[in-house]
């Protein structure tokens, strides 16, 4: 076991890891982009309303209007990386800058050249979730919920045996839970705007019910709307999706702080799988969009020093898996030495 900050100080017993797909560092750190609050560039249907909701004169006010919980609570209680304007870089190392390779890199710590498409192919690499679930202290207490229906393959449920609920599949393991039953009904009856994933509210609130009822030690939540609305050239709905993601983080934080098992014992980590292009390329990403390698990371918890915005720092996506394990006092990197090392600042060393 790797103990962070000394045995007498280590307090983290649980980790919640949330990812929102393809959300740019530009909006996270600068807030809404005036050039994209526009019908032509951003596909915005009501620019006046969007500006009323998200535009402010200063950058600090704009980013807080978009992601109030991140900036007023998480960053103040923890750390944030990935603002190149402060010489704080966060980057993918897979070179592909799209979803399956990004999620795989974050969850396994390896940029594997075999992982080179979004095809539903079982991941050959062992994720930190799978590795933790094999340990007696975590067995059956690790779960993943996601919007995208490819998560069962990214987490290789056939091999790992992990509890993964994703896409349009109903969740059937909380019999008698009326809220989950309603969400399952909405998955069945609602319009399938995207064939591969529902709106984020359905996987998020399913995960929340599972958290409250089954109390896992490690919970992963994957949100998808930020990427979907960006590809659809709807900057207004992209901003709304990011704002909802911020609200979901607040719900999770307030929930765990209300429960003795989790209160002051839980780390919350927030990240994205890839960035996006700039200007007219804001809707896209991939190998041919090099700036889409730029990502970000937010972390807060009892063993993470409250140092706020990173300056003159460099982290990579392949460090996330080992960081999650290290927050729990576990040494994933020693088991898989090709993975990135834990982010020392996040784990309190």
Contact 204, 146 (CB under 8 A): no
pTM (2 decimals)?
Answer: 0.97
Let me know if 306 is exposed, middle or buried by CB neighbors in 10 A (0-12, 13-18, 19+).
exposed
Please give the mean pLDDT across all residues of the chain.
Answer: 96
Distance CA 298, CA 129 (A): 19
| Cβ contact 83:313 at 8 Å | no
Residue 314 per-residue DSSP state: E
* In the chain, where the domains are located: 14-335
User: In the CATH hierarchy, which fold is given to the domain comprising 14-335?
Assistant: Alkaline Phosphatase, subunit A (3.40.720)
71 DSSP assignment: I
Instruction: Indicate left, alpha or beta for 202 from its phi (over 0: left) and psi (-120 to 50: alpha).
Output: alpha
Q: pLDDT of 56-107, one tens digit each?
A: 999 999 999 999 999 999 999 999 999 999 999 999 999 999 999 999 999 9
* Tens-digit pLDDT profile for residues 274-314: 999 999 999 999 999 999 999 999 999 999 999 999 999 99
Model pLDDT, residue 8: 52
Above 70 in pLDDT, residue 145? yes
SS3 299: strand
pLDDT tens by residue, 176-209: 999 999 999 999 999 999 999 999 999 999 999 9
Which of 290, 291, 307, 311 lies closest to 299, judged by CA?
A: 307
């Amino acid at each position: 076991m790797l103990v962070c900050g000394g045995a007498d100080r280590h307090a983290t017993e649980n980790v919640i890891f949330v990812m929102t797909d393809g959300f740019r560092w530009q909006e996270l750190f600068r807030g809404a982009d005036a050039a994209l609050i526009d019908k032509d560039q951003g596909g915005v249907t009501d620019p006046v309303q969007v500006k009323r909701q998200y535009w402010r004169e200063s950058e600090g006010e704009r980013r807080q209007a978009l992601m109030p919980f991140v900036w007023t609570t998480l960053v103040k209680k923890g750390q944030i990386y990935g603002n190149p304007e402060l010489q704080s870089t966060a980057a993918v190392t897979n070179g592909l800058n799209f979803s399956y390779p990004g999620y795989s890199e974050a969850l396994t710590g390896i940029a594997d050249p075999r992982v080179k498409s979004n095809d539903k192919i079982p991941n050959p690499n062992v994720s930190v979730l799978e590795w933790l679930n094999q340990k007696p202290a975590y067995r059956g207490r690790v779960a993943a919920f996601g919007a995208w229906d490819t998560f069962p393959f990214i987490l290789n449920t056939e091999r790992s045996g992990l509890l993964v609920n994703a896409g349009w599949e109903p969740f059937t393991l909380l019999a008698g839970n009326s809220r989950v039953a309603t969400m399952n009904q909405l998955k069945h009856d609602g319009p399938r705007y995207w064939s591969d994933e529902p709106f984020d509210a359905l996987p998020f609130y399913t995960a929340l019910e599972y958290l409250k009822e089954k109390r896992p030690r490690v919970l992963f939540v994957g949100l998808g709307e930020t990427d979907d609305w960006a590809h659809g050239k709807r900057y207004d709905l992209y901003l709304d999706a990011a704002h909802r993601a911020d609200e979901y983080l607040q719900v999770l934080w307030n929930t765990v702080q209300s429960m003795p098992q989790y209160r002051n014992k839980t780390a919350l980590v927030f990240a994205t799988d890839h960035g996006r292009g700039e200007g007219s390329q804001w809707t896209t990403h991939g190998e041919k969009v090099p700036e889409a390698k730029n990502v970000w990371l937010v972390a807060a918890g009892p063993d993470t020093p409250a140092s706020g915005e990173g300056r003159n720092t460099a982290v990579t996506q392949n460090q996330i898996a080992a960081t999650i394990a290290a927050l729990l006092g576990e040494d994933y990197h020693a088991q898989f030495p090709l993975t990135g090392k834990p982010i020392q600042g996040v784990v309190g060393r």
